[in-house]
Every structure is written in C-alpha cells, then in structure tokens.
Structure 1
C-alpha cells in the first residue's frame, strides 16, 4: 500500500471519529432579553455553535407598556418573526416568558390581559394543539429526552401568570414572607412535583427570574423566601443532576449552591453599562455585555459556558455526571 493511501485512510479514520465525537455532544443554547428592534449579533455565533436546542428564558420580545395593553406586544412578535435566524428551523425551541413578553413590567397574577397574552405566546411559538399548554393556564412545560442513554428532563416554569404581588419600598423589592404568597401558584406547584418524580438523570430547569442569587434589589425568587425554600428543598431531594437556567437581569453569570448550578444568560441584545455586582453564591464575575449560555451534554460531563456575542468564553464550569 502506498504512503499516500495509508495517509488517506488514517485521515479518514481521524475525521470519522472527530465528527462522531461532535455528534455525541448534545448542545443547548440559552438566552433572554431580546429586543425585536435591535440587531442580535449573537444569532450568528449561536448558529456556529451547532446547537441541538435553544431555550428562550423570557423577555424574548419587548412588548410591554404601562397600561398593559397588547398592541405593542403584537407588533413585537411580528417584527421578531421577520428577523428570526435560519437555524431556528433546524433546532428544537423551548420558551418561557418574563414580564416584557408577558405584557406588563414586573407583572404577575393581577395582570388584566394575561389570558390574551397567553394566547399570543402560544400562537407565536406554534404550540401544538395536542400540547398540554393548550388546555391549561400558564406557559409552563416539561419534556424528556434520551441523550447518551441518559434521561434529560427539561422543565420551563411560569413565574408570571400565578405570581403574587411584589413587596416594594423606595424602589427596592423586599421579601414577601406571607404564607400564601406564591411564585408558581398551587396548580403549577402540583404539576411540578409530579414532573420531578418521573425517572430522569439530568434536570434542566428554566426560570425567567433568578433562583440562587439573593444579593441584588431586583426581581428574584428570594423576594418570596418561602417559595424559594420550597423549590430548593424539592430539588435537594432529587438524585439527578440539576441545572438551573435563568434570564431577566441584563447581566450574566454562573452561581452554585452545593451541587446545584445556575447559569443566568442575559441579555442577547440589550446590554447595559458595566456595574459591579457580586453574590455569595456567584462563581467568577457577572457580565453586562451581550451574552448567551451554552450547555454541552457529553458522555461523562456537563459543560456550562457563558459567552459573549463573539463566542468568547466569559464564565465556564464543567461538572462530572452523577
């Protein structure tokens, strides 16, 4: 056999296993805070990541006005629909909402147009007629996939439709410690508990607002401390690996409490001027430049990255599979 043929065979084998290796990594993109009136440079970078799925974590468009009326939200969806990147059609899309695509800034259960907004959400994201979301209130969902012989459970929570009123003083949100105060509402809590007892190895849990962070004055689960403790206690009882994914903040970062990891990916295209922020559970730094998140599920580990719109890694953690 000639040297050239041997070289060709070696290269072919190398390329085969290189391609196979890439295929054995399941990639999930993450993002939030996408203003339909701004150009989203990150779309090209995310497309280059060769992702398998993308999880929209809320504020997917900006359509809220102080009156709560839905005219702007309808136009926002129309504009976003025209500007969607081509790769949207090639990957699985998961979506939950936050306040700006709910229809009212910091809105909760008392928002008077929430039923109409819910219909617009389901229409835009083309929720199938047989999907459970079509027969109940809220936009929460679950989906389970077999990836690398592992059962991966995706859950998206609705932190708007049922949420109690926020407690606010001098422009700062305070803890609402009333026993009946809720983030998810009774119906969604019962559903959530039913989902997490299903057999699974990895849980990717989406919440539009941050779960672990407590040190800032904005919206977060810590504004409802009893609800936050209820959620963390439920997750602590699981044997599976849990990854929290969140948005909202116009600031990205990775947080950790014991084995529980949270990545906040925000914003896709509405960056804010840099200001320092820390938290007792923060790993590394927070980043106010435009960013997106990436979860890579491989055979032996889970890689979690926060990247800027140029694909530069801002924060990174790799954890072994349980």
Structure 2
C-alpha cells in the first residue's frame, strides 16, 4: 500500500514539474534559417530558464542529438537562438524542446529540414514557400478607439495547411503602437505580444522563417533614418527572427540587409528604413536603400548564379503610383537599380514587396521583363487603390481582401518554373500566374 501511495505521489510531483516548465513557454518554438550543415531553432520563455533542443533524423528517435543549453535573459526578451549542427544535407528532422530539463510537448509537429546538396549531382530541388505582409494583432488597451484594425487570424492556419518549406515575412510583421516605440520595454512587449498568438504557433514549429521589416516593425508610421530608437528595434528584430545574416551591406553591420539561398533561388533581403531619407525631405540626395546598400545589391545580383533572383523589400519597387512610400518617388535610386540590371544583363529578377494593404503583380514592358509581386495584408486593414495609376499592373491580379501568396519553384535545371498563387483567408485560390525561367533570360551573345 505504501508503495502505491509513494508511486502516486511521485507521479503527481513529476506532473506538476512538467506543467510548471510548460507554463514557462511564452512563444515558439520556431524554425529559423536552414543550411546544409546547420539549422537555427528559436524559443521564448516567460522568465529566465534553461533551454535546449533535442533533434533526430525523422524515423530514428533512438539517435537523439542535443543543441547546447542556454539561459534566457530579460535583456534579450527571454529569447534563445540555438543551432542544430549535427545534421546532414537533404534530411528531415524532428525535434523537441526542453525547459529546465523538462520536455515540453506541443500539439502539432515540430520538424525542420536541411538544404539539399544538389549541385553537380541532380536537378535543383522543387520547393514552395508562403509570403505576405502586414500582420496586425489587436491589443485593446493600446489600440486606437473604434473598430478593431486586425482580423481573420485564421489566415495563419490556412498558410500552415499549404505545407510550405518556409515563410518569407515582407514587413509590418508587427505593428508598434505609440506606447511601444519609445522604449526597449515597449518594443520587446509588442514583439512578444504578436509572436505569442495561438494561431501562429503551428506555423512557427515546422516551417522555416525568414523576414524583412518595414515601418511598423521598425518604428512609427512612415519612419526613416531619423527615428531615434532604430538600434533598439534592430536589436529586437535580430532577437525575434532567425535570418542567417544581417547588416551585410554596411561596414558597421547596421540594418537588416541580408541574403540566403534555397535550392537554386537566391533571396536578397533589403532594408528600406534604417538609412532612408524622410519622405518630405527634398533637400539634398534622397534615397530609400541609399548608396552602400544599392552598391551591395548590384554587386550581389551580378555575382549570383541563381535561376531566380528574388529581391524582398517593404516598399513597392515597380509601381508607377506616386504614393509617398513607393520607390517611384525616389526616381534616381530606382532608375540606378533598373539600369544596373540591364547593363549587367541580370536575368531572373523578381521583387517581392508588401506595405500597401492590397495585392498586385506588376511587370515591366522590357525584354526580358522584371516582376514585382506585392502581397498585403495578412490581417491588417485592407485598401482599394482604385484612384491609383499603376500602368504596370498585370490584369486581374488586384486583390483587396486578406490574402497570402504561395510560390512554388519546380522543373529541371535551366527550365525552372515559378508558380504564384494568391489565397484568401479561407484558403480559396484567387488567381495564379506562372513565370518561366527562360522568359526572364537575356539573350546569349
């Protein structure tokens, strides 16, 4: 009898300990960048705790490996970024989270993948990713009075159901409020509040994530280089996201500029805020990306061997609509980039942009053409640009409801095809376009 009571008591104590550690989980875990020999894993706790991950090749749980263990800290928003570095290319792994040495169980799969070593061996791998911008999560005490600005959070579940390899966030991934953008406390709070919503967690757990920012995750609306707390929001961006690099265009490593490759496609992640001239400043040189970043982009494009070269930036690049945040209002910089693409015969260029609270596909009338896919919004307010003049818009691609894009790259080497599908909050396909690699190539000499 005493053994029975002792066993029961022990089980209760263990159960309470596991529950206590699970209760320390604030958000995540999240899968960050993927390379052939390592993957970044992220998590956030509610207070200081020891965290680590176990992982194993799918179907082989007997061969568990562990990341290092770290203590989460208040001055890093209790976030941890750990590296799974005992991996091999082209494999799928399962993983689990430990907080204070207790395994934390989630109700959805926790998985990641390493990139395929395809070069000189096979055709590049087929893959697909979701993308979108403008994720507004309501927070009643700090929101403006009236109708809530955010809605239809279930769109995040619809994205997860597409089973993408990764998600590329196109800015306004959070919306800093007036109470947030003046302090590190407020900035950490807003990032934590958005990252913690239940609808997001499954997407974080098994889909790799990359991100750029725009004005609302950088600072106030339409903010520029004069925003005094930009290094605080830069710090927060690095703490809450898992890109493989940041600040690659700046000698001091400032800004979020970076790049990554998935399969045979290279992504260029641009910073349209940290160095930007104020929209209403017409004295002197006006720029969005500014000289160092433009030169880095041109050089990086020229050296890239990718089939498609995807440039992700918050502000619309191609649109001819002269709304104040678009590149068309900074014509010298915009034209310099376009001229460099032509002069260097850079093939396969596609911009991915956000910001505008509607979706459209723009295409230049050049040979070969350049595309700009604007995808917005996920959950924030929508906008109908009926009075705007964008003669480059591809017919029947305007969407003025909550939506996201699913982009799939398939086909043999040198014959790749990019399929773009736009879905609404219910997972209904709204339109589809295909872009052939061969149609974006400059003629060979």
TM-score (normalised: structure 2): 0.60
Matched, 1:297 2:409: yes
Map of 1:229 onto structure 2 = 335
CA distance in 1, matches of 2:225, 2:391: 31
Match runs of 1:122-137 below 5 Å = 122-126=238-242, 131-133=245-247, 136-137=253-254
Q: Contact between 1:265 and 1:292, CA under 8 Å: does it hold in 2?
A: yes
Shift of 1:36: 2.5
Map of 1:282 onto structure 2 = 393
Match runs of 1:170-185 below 5 Å = 180-185=285-290
Aligned length: 286
CA distance in 2, matches of 1:66, 1:257: 42
Q: Contact between 1:33 and 1:248, CA under 8 Å: does it hold in 2?
A: yes
SS in 1 for 2:398: strand
Map of 2:26 onto structure 1 = none
Map of 1:193 onto structure 2 = 298
SS in 2 for 1:287: coil
CA distance in 1, matches of 2:349, 2:242: 28
Q: Aligned-residue CA RMSD in angstroms?
A: 2.3
CA distance in 2, matches of 1:126, 1:190: 25
Kindly tell me: are residues 285 and 153 of structure 1, through their superposed partners in 2, closer, same or farther at Cα, counting changes over 3 Å? closer
Matched, 1:74 2:191: no
- Name which of structure 1's ranges 195-204 and 222-231 shifts more when overlaid on structure 2: 195-204
Shift of 1:30: 0.7
SS in 2 for 1:245: strand
The Cα offsets for residues 162-209 of structure 1, whole Å up to 9 and x where unpaired, read as 0112128xxxxxxx5x66211112222232123112222210110101
Q: Contact between 1:278 and 1:286, CA under 8 Å: does it hold in 2?
A: no
Kindly tell me: are residues 279 and 50 of structure 1, through their superposed partners in 2, closer, same or farther at Cα, counting changes over 3 Å? same
Match runs of 1:152-163 below 5 Å = 152-163=265-276
- Name which of structure 1's ranges 52-61 and 159-168 shifts more when overlaid on structure 2: 159-168
Pairing partner for 1:272 from 376, 379, 382: 382
Shift of 1:115: 0.9
Map of 2:212 onto structure 1 = 96
- Name which of structure 1's ranges 40-49 and 190-199 shifts more when overlaid on structure 2: 190-199
SS in 2 for 1:249: coil
Q: Contact between 1:271 and 1:288, CA under 8 Å: does it hold in 2?
A: no
SS in 2 for 1:65: coil
Map of 2:315 onto structure 1 = 209
Q: Contact between 2:175 and 2:217, CA under 8 Å: does it hold in 1?
A: yes
CA distance in 2, matches of 1:260, 1:92: 27
Matched, 1:252 2:364: no
Structure scoring higher RCO (CA < 8 A, sep ≥ 6) equals 1
Shift of 1:239: 3.6
Shift of 1:256: 0.8
SS in 2 for 1:187: helix
SS in 1 for 2:406: strand
Map of 1:10 onto structure 2 = none
Q: For structure 1, list consecutive stretches of 5 or more residues without a partner in the other structure.
A: 1-22, 169-175
The Cα offsets for residues 17-55 of structure 1, whole Å up to 9 and x where unpaired, read as xxxxxx964112111100132452211111111111111
Pairing partner for 1:59 from 144, 148, 172: 172
Q: Which has the higher helix share?
A: 1
Regions of 4+ moved over 4 Å: none
- Name which of structure 1's ranges 246-255 and 277-286 shifts more when overlaid on structure 2: 277-286
TM-score (normalised: structure 1): 0.81
Kindly tell me: are residues 307 and 104 of structure 1, through their superposed partners in 2, closer, same or farther at Cα, counting changes over 3 Å? same
Q: Contact between 1:43 and 1:85, CA under 8 Å: does it hold in 2?
A: no
